Structure 1
Amino acid sequence: MAQAGRKQRILLRAAGASVLALGTIAVVGGAFRGFSPSANVSPVVTEELALETTDEDSRVLSLVNLEPAERAETLEAIASERGSLEQARARYLLAADLIRQGRGGSALPHLEGLEDDYPVLAPAILAQRAQAQTATGDAEAAMATWQRLLDEFPESPMTVEAKEALGAENEALLQEAIARFPAHPRTLQIVLNKLVENPNQPELLLLLARHGVDLPDVTGVLDRLVAEYADQLTPEDWEAIAFAYWENLRYDDAGNAYANATPTAVNLYRAGRGAHIGDRRDDALTYYQQAIQEFPEAPETATAMLRMADLARPPESGLLYLDQVIQRFPDRAGEALLQKSELLDQLSSPDAASQARQTLLTEYSDSAAAAELRWGLAERSVEQGELAAAQTWAAEVIEQNPTSEEAPEAAYWLGKWALDQGNEAAAQARFEAVLQRYPESYYAWRSATMLGWDVGDFTTVRYQQPDVQPLGHRITPPVGSDALIELYKLGQDRDAYAHWQTEFTNAKEPSVSEQFTDGLMRLGVNDNLDGIYMISTLRRRTDPTEQAEYQSLRQQTAYWEALYPFPYMDVVESWAAERQLNPMLVIALMRQESRFEPKIRSVVGAVGLMQVMPSTGEWIAGQIDLTDYNLEDPDDNVKLGTWYLDYTHETYADHSMLAIASYNAGPGNVDDWMNRFGLDDPDRFVEQIPFPETKGYVEAVFENYWNYLRLYNPAIAQQMERLNN
């Protein structure tokens, strides 16, 4: 089903969700504590309202993730209470539910005078009232309410909807919306409508380039600007176009655009990198060299030098660039030394290569490159039958590089090797250490299985039916206005996202807290691909202060809850039960395949939540006598995808590791690997999978599965808590 390159964001972004999507998902979790909160995260209320509850105790917030019909009766009861924040929240949520149900008239009593009792959401309350009045056919009252919103709250993002509603009679209001709130989703729609009427408006095309980076057809806008208006564009315009191309993975086009932007270290490096990816070697060398000459101390210069070494002809001339990195950029020296050692091996200079590796291990022992080298030496030692040497190298990874990507794997194999040697006590201690130090990793799941926890193994996980209990409250965004945070906590994702788009003005260089909030906002409007991406890539921060902030964040349960949401769970549970599959294994695979994007298409043509190839879907449909289906429909896609996952399990006698590998690489490859490697040690089998993408895929799916368990299964959560106390 999933063939080449599934793990890469470039494939997942191929048909990304619209920035204007209005869907919602249940992002659950407790209140977000201990991480750069905004100065005022609590809603402003009048003196008459008693703040007798915290968010954790709020009855209304505990209902947010329920369907409107499930919460209506309880909300009605709370709404009848007098003088509390809970009452105000209940009235607002009831009104919002009724308006979405087309019952605007029933919503109006709940909104009556609510702006006075609930001032933090006063603009939103007026907008709701206008919508309810429109729904009842009282256009005059609706227009008056929209006008009141404009008059009393001119700085609120909610005024964009008022200006849009009143703009039919007053074009100036639409222009005001464009000028004041250019990034607001409704403003972008206003601009798109204007371009339909008159496509030849470069100033509006540029607005979309700057503020509509996530629009599904924005690259067509960028192409028009470059093709039709290049002679009118300023360097700042080119930079905006370049950034939008870059964010949409059009790197070659981005490189060309960056070449026309103001020469900065970032712009020149990206001009070179875009040319490099686009196989324009001479252009790449030119821009890399310009970055090196004009910005000799910039971080991008070190990266440019490493790229120059890759492109150097003859290859040995690349050593000059690597030596410059080693001398001038201590934080990148380890990476340069590792690259240098590999180049020297290629040049048949084993002594010099050995010296470079020794320098890396002694002078830059705590670098990521040193961890990579140590683990590579451990694996080589195993292949050569030198287990003691492998154990020494793995132990050095744990001691010298405890936060490296290789550390969880090294720690787990130390346990496996101890078990192989009959030292069960040492093995148990090693496995417990993996769970304590690297609780989110694939190797934590493998350690839990080795310790006998009830989490399923490769041969038993298919039939596991874990109890999963999502937590009650939503995560509180760490930054944002009071109105935005209150709207988000109430599950009003569309409005919260609209506020965020107007408040988030630092998209090119967001802080850690801003990037995390951006991820939450995207998840709220069902842009799951980019939401998960924004949150997961926080780990890439290299600035020490930012990395420390990220390390603090990842200690919070809220971070992991955001990374592992539960969209389409009803569909998953239904079809998993039909196929006798562990629903957590299905959702784990789905997260890896599509990041929960129902209409996404990979570059090889796989479609939807479980990335079903059209030809495979047609074959499956024939097997189950299904004549009418749509691979972009979540129910149809999961129906077909779970059938195929059941099929791969049956093919391999319910061995889930082989079934998952086959889902990615196909049965022919899996059969070949079984013949070559055998299954005596399934962990070793995974390590020997010759396709890096498939090896990573298998580990990622089971890592996803484990994280859903440790976060949402009460029994496993309690075991983890006991282990850490």
Structure 2
Amino acid sequence: MIRNLSKITLALALSLAIPLPAHAQSRGDAPPTELAQSTPREAGSSARFRVIERFPERDPAPPQIPSIAPTSPFAPIIEDVERNNWASAHRKLQNPELRPLLNDDASLRFLAATVAMEAGHPAQTLAILNALDLEADLPSLADYASLLKARAALATDDAHTATLAAASVDDQSLLYPDALTLLADALQKAGQPEDQKRAVDVLELFLNAYPRHSRAAAAREQLATLLEAQNPRRAAELFSHIREQRPLSEAAARATQRLRALDAHLSDAQRQLLDDTTPERALTLARARFDLHQSERVINDLNAALEQWPEDAPQRCEALYLIARSHTKLRQHSAGTPVYDRILEQCADTDWELRALYLGGRGRWNSGDRQGALALFERIWQEYGDHSYADDAMYFAARILRSEDHPDDARQRLQAQLSRYPEGDMAKDAHWLLLREYFDRDDFQAVIDHVDNLDKTGEDDLYTKGRLHYFRARALLQAGRTDEAAQAFIKVAHDHPMTYYALLSFNQLASLQSDTTGLDICATVGPACEDHLPANVSSDPVELPEDLQRDPGFQKASQLLTLGLTSLARRELTALRTRHASNTSTLWALASLLDAAHAYPISHDLARRHIHGWMDAYPTQSTRRHWSIAYPTPFKDALTRYAEQRRLNPAIIYAIMREESGFNPRIESWANARGLLQLIEPTARRIAQKDGLGDFSFDLLFDPTLNIRLGSAYMRELADQTGSHPALIIAGYNGGFGNVSSWLKEFGHEDLDLFVENIPYGQTRDYTKRVLMSFWIYSYLYGDARVPALPFTLPSP
């Protein structure tokens, strides 16, 4: 019974006249978006290993977030925390020798309380926190400690303490939404009628401020349950919302039961929504299943439903579209074709028609019906010429004509596309396809003239920047104009720093010197390369702006990172990024601090996706630190050991790791690939057996060392199959050696540059370019080769 306490709570947190918290107003009602899928960082390990690093002794130490010394008895505990190994951390904390150290440091006691809670010992958590004055002892983390205390108290049925602790979280804290839901739980648990009413008030406040919060669905169900007796119409409204927004959830099933019990209070519209046989309900369920990739269920359910619907049901077009798209997801292109045809027949002059033309055309193309695809694509640019699909359709038609051995028709189609849509997003690809045809017929002057006549290329991404001018240089070379070709390659390398085509250009320049055997291509090329990539490069430190140091969120995040609580810090870091988004120097300082704290999934992602323009120039003394943040070297001991054992360049392992997982050891893809190097179970199990690992289990792939062991073994296998060619190892890692072998047989006579452009799978083609670029950057930053050698002649299949 907490009747008196309820008044305190109401005064503290339930004044429903209060405005939305400032952080809700500034960011909207959605919770902060995470910087990256992040997992425990690697702490205290950098001192235990090293890789070759270019002049590391000359790099000033960057500003750092304080960290626990590797020799501290708490270091192994924090390492467990970073890996979410709560039981192990809890066992270690029971060591009596740690008690004096814990008593001297409130932040370590907060860590111990967190570990106890996550390990399933809430009473212990509560005892630790009850002994602290949270505001005085933990000024930066008082809100985190209060929320933890509320959780622990609730878990031990102490509603009094839970209510006080949750109500003490300030409305400016990022934890305020979580505190509101805990406060509602505590008040409901208290059991008194007035507490129940105040629980309702808290939940209404929460849903008004945060309607799309991750806990909103649970809050709606909780609120609806509380209101069933006193306000059944509002309860029915909430249950109906759950049923419509989360139709496949268990909460929706419970909501359906409660709505049937509330039948006397339902409106006609709510009662109609309870009818599971209506077309709208069938579509609601199908949309949810489509989003969950339950493609076969979507096809079966909607085909059955369509037989029951009237011919003029307005939902028919969307239902057919979901069926067709589900066939496409399953790569059942032939089965999807007649469904797209039904959409074209039954849904003319609607938005569904255009979608069916585009996706139906691609489906026919994939199933081998090229003439049918051409007919649908032509309708797009003829009937929907102002839509963004139009230039895509013309480009696809040109590719089909080219594959059908109609080069003249293909050329005319591409020229028409560029004339009609010179600024279209497919213009750069149309230009390239024209150049490719000129290369096929050895018309090198046509390549040169085409590029020279362009005002701009439209090349705006990693996969195309510099492509047209690189192949112009290539045409000059094949036309025997060697000096002009050399100058053209130099210009590509100058204009497009550290890109895939700059890497190719430097290798072409080395080939002109008749020396591609050296470890460092840059030394062969001479000043044209060395001026951009000097051998002796130091690094300026990243300064820590005062406004970042003063930011309370930075202080919270720093302390949480120090304790290894990366998952808790991530929310503060995301908010920091948002608050300082317009200040590039502050973002770099934040990224540098995170890097120094070994929070690599977050730090590299901040540089990679949220700071722009820094890759427009080669690394210099003032920017080299930026590059090392974006391309870090975590897990050095294991990676270096297995790179040496497998006779692999560490740069290629890091390049693939960065692409596959973003250095997140616990990530799992939709295809169930796991860990740092994203291994699927069949491949991992085969490699484990081959490598003598007898006790392998799939869960072990989340262990960084084992994942690197098996991933590097797989790379060695690919290297043995591809003559250790970096580009082929990379392509094989993404597309499989079986595909690489087929491509080598089909067009392996081409030089490397044209071979990569010929890779038919867009994902693998782009992956190969992107990872080769990273391979170069890692080689430059940490290895012996400022520019690694890439043989243009490929091995025989």
Which residue is 1:76 aligned to?
A: none
Asked if residue 322 in structure 1 is aligned to residue 380 in structure 2, the reply is: yes
Which residue is 1:113 aligned to?
A: 135
Pick aligned residue for 1:378 from 420, 435, 455: 435
Which residue is 1:413 aligned to?
A: 471
Q: Is the 8 A contact 2:722 2:729 kept in 1?
A: yes
Amino acid at match of 2:275: D
Pick aligned residue for 2:39 from 4, 11, 23: 23
> Secondary structure at the residue paired with 2:349?
helix
> Secondary structure at the residue paired with 1:375?
helix
Q: Distance in 2 between matches of 1:642 and 1:311?
A: 37
Q: Distance in 2 between matches of 1:437 and 1:275?
A: 44
> Secondary structure at the residue paired with 1:389?
helix
Asked if residue 600 in structure 1 is aligned to residue 678 in structure 2, the reply is: no
Q: Distance in 1 between matches of 2:143 and 2:697?
A: 41
Asked if residue 123 in structure 1 is aligned to residue 143 in structure 2, the reply is: yes
Q: Distance in 1 between matches of 2:494 and 2:466?
A: 11
Instruction: Quote the offset at 1:318 in angstroms.
Output: 3.2
Which residue is 1:546 aligned to?
A: none
Deviation per residue, 1:293-346 (Å, 9 max, x gap): 356xxxx875555346567999476367324445443x5543343345567789
> Secondary structure at the residue paired with 1:157?
helix
Which residue is 2:349 aligned to?
A: 293
Which residue is 2:358 aligned to?
A: 306
| Aligned CA distance change for structure 1 residues 193 and 703 (closer, same or farther; 3 Å) | farther
Deviation per residue, 1:141-173 (Å, 9 max, x gap): 954651442687799124057438737834758
> Secondary structure at the residue paired with 2:177?
coil
| Aligned CA distance change for structure 1 residues 716 and 143 (closer, same or farther; 3 Å) | farther
Which residue is 1:494 aligned to?
A: 567
Amino acid at match of 2:503: W
Q: Is the 8 A contact 1:608 1:637 kept in 2?
A: yes
| Aligned CA distance change for structure 1 residues 139 and 164 (closer, same or farther; 3 Å) | same
Q: Is the 8 A contact 1:177 1:187 kept in 2?
A: no
Q: Is the 8 A contact 1:592 1:701 kept in 2?
A: yes
Asked if residue 583 in structure 1 is aligned to residue 650 in structure 2, the reply is: yes
Q: Distance in 2 between matches of 1:252 and 1:527?
A: 39
Amino acid at match of 1:23: T
| Aligned CA distance change for structure 1 residues 369 and 713 (closer, same or farther; 3 Å) | same
Q: Distance in 2 between matches of 1:457 and 1:131?
A: 64
Asked if residue 169 in structure 1 is aligned to residue 211 in structure 2, the reply is: no
TM-score using structure 2 length: 0.54
Deviation per residue, 1:231-255 (Å, 9 max, x gap): 3699998888666555544567779
TM-score using structure 1 length: 0.59
Q: Distance in 2 between matches of 1:419 and 1:111?
A: 75
Which residue is 1:610 aligned to?
A: 677
> Secondary structure at the residue paired with 2:168?
helix
Which residue is 2:712 aligned to?
A: 642
Deviation per residue, 1:346-390 (Å, 9 max, x gap): 999998766544332323223233322221121122121222222
> Secondary structure at the residue paired with 1:381?
helix
Deviation per residue, 1:452-480 (Å, 9 max, x gap): 69xx9999699xx999999979999x9xx
Q: Distance in 2 between matches of 1:254 and 1:533?
A: 38
Q: Is the 8 A contact 2:642 2:709 kept in 1?
A: yes
Instruction: Quote the offset at 1:413 in angstroms.
Output: 2.5
Q: Is the 8 A contact 2:298 2:323 kept in 1?
A: no
Asked if residue 363 in structure 1 is aligned to residue 420 in structure 2, the reply is: yes
Deviation per residue, 1:469-527 (Å, 9 max, x gap): 99979999x9xxx87676556646534666899999xxxxxxxx9xx9xxx9xx99999
Q: Rg: which structure is higher?
A: 2
Q: Distance in 2 between matches of 1:370 and 1:645?
A: 36
Q: Is the 8 A contact 1:573 1:583 kept in 2?
A: yes
Structure 1 range deviating more: 629-638 or 439-448: 439-448
Q: Distance in 2 between matches of 1:632 and 1:233?
A: 42
Amino acid at match of 2:135: G
Q: Distance in 1 between matches of 2:633 and 2:692?
A: 30
* Residues 663-678 of structure 1 mapped to structure 2, 5 A cutoff: 663-664=733-734, 670=740
Q: Distance in 2 between matches of 1:209 and 1:157?
A: 24
Q: Distance in 2 between matches of 1:613 and 1:275?
A: 24
Asked if residue 620 in structure 1 is aligned to residue 687 in structure 2, the reply is: yes
Q: Distance in 1 between matches of 2:278 and 2:68?
A: 50
Q: Is the 8 A contact 1:408 1:443 kept in 2?
A: yes
Q: Distance in 2 between matches of 1:205 and 1:566?
A: 51
Q: Distance in 1 between matches of 2:355 and 2:431?
A: 23
Pick aligned residue for 2:177 from 151, 157, 162: 157
Q: How many residues align?
A: 596
Q: Is the 8 A contact 1:326 1:333 kept in 2?
A: yes
Q: Distance in 2 between matches of 1:626 and 1:367?
A: 52
Q: Is the 8 A contact 1:131 1:142 kept in 2?
A: no
| Aligned CA distance change for structure 1 residues 573 and 437 (closer, same or farther; 3 Å) | same
Deviation per residue, 1:180-209 (Å, 9 max, x gap): 356555677899999xxxxxx997897598
Q: Is the 8 A contact 2:418 2:427 kept in 1?
A: yes
Q: Distance in 2 between matches of 1:572 and 1:337?
A: 47
Q: Distance in 2 between matches of 1:253 and 1:419?
A: 56
Q: Is the 8 A contact 2:648 2:716 kept in 1?
A: yes
Asked if residue 686 in structure 1 is aligned to residue 756 in structure 2, the reply is: yes
Structure with the greater relative contact order (CA < 8 A, sep ≥ 6): 1 or 2? 1
Q: Is the 8 A contact 1:150 1:159 kept in 2?
A: yes
| Aligned CA distance change for structure 1 residues 245 and 615 (closer, same or farther; 3 Å) | closer
Q: Is the 8 A contact 1:292 1:304 kept in 2?
A: no
Which residue is 1:630 aligned to?
A: 697
Q: Distance in 2 between matches of 1:679 and 1:219?
A: 55
> Secondary structure at the residue paired with 2:727?
helix
Q: Distance in 1 between matches of 2:555 and 2:243?
A: 29
Instruction: Quote the offset at 1:282 in angstroms.
Output: 5.4
> Secondary structure at the residue paired with 1:124?
helix
> Secondary structure at the residue paired with 2:442?
coil
Q: Distance in 2 between matches of 1:326 and 1:586?
A: 46
> Secondary structure at the residue paired with 1:113?
helix
Amino acid at match of 1:156: Y
Deviation per residue, 1:572-594 (Å, 9 max, x gap): 34433443433331132234445
Deviation per residue, 1:265-300 (Å, 9 max, x gap): x979974863663645555456578877356xxxx8
Which residue is 1:657 aligned to?
A: 727
| Aligned CA distance change for structure 1 residues 251 and 375 (closer, same or farther; 3 Å) | farther
| Aligned CA distance change for structure 1 residues 624 and 349 (closer, same or farther; 3 Å) | closer
Instruction: Quote the offset at 1:627 in angstroms.
Output: 1.5
| Aligned CA distance change for structure 1 residues 272 and 500 (closer, same or farther; 3 Å) | farther
Which residue is 1:547 aligned to?
A: none
Asked if residue 699 in structure 1 is aligned to residue 743 in structure 2, the reply is: no
Which residue is 1:446 aligned to?
A: 504
Which residue is 2:450 aligned to?
A: 393
Which residue is 1:62 aligned to?
A: 64
Q: Distance in 1 between matches of 2:608 and 2:255?
A: 31
| Aligned CA distance change for structure 1 residues 161 and 677 (closer, same or farther; 3 Å) | same
